Amino acid sequence: MGILKEIFSSEAGSLVKNVGDAIDKIATSKEEKMQIELEMKKAEFQFQNDLKKLSLDEQRIITAEMDSARRREVDVASSQYSTKLAKNIAPYLAIGTTILTFALFTFILVKDVEDGKKEIIFYILGVLSAIVTQIFAYYFGSSMGSSDKAQTIDKLLRKDKL
- On the question of pLDDT at 71 being above 60, the answer is yes
Give pLDDT, residue 90: 85
Cα dihedral 146→148→154→157 (10° resolution): -100
**Does residue 14 sit in the same domain as residue 90?**
no
**Does residue 15 sit in the same domain as residue 25?**
yes
**Does residue 141 sit in the same domain as residue 155?**
yes
Give pLDDT, residue 1: 46
Helix, strand, coil % in the chain, rounded to nearest 5: 90, 0, 10
**Does residue 90 sit in the same domain as residue 77?**
no
Give pLDDT, residue 21: 67
Domains contained in the chain, number: 2
Separation CA 157–CA 162 (nearest Å): 9
pLDDT digit string, tens, across residues 104-144: 889 888 888 787 888 888 888 899 999 999 888 888 876 55
- Residue 4 has, within 13 A of its CA and on its CB side, a CA count of 13
**Does residue 64 sit in the same domain as residue 92?**
no
**Does residue 91 sit in the same domain as residue 118?**
yes
pTM of this prediction?
0.48
Last residue of a domain, one of 40, 56, 82: 82
Which residue range forms the structural domain that includes residue 119? 83-162
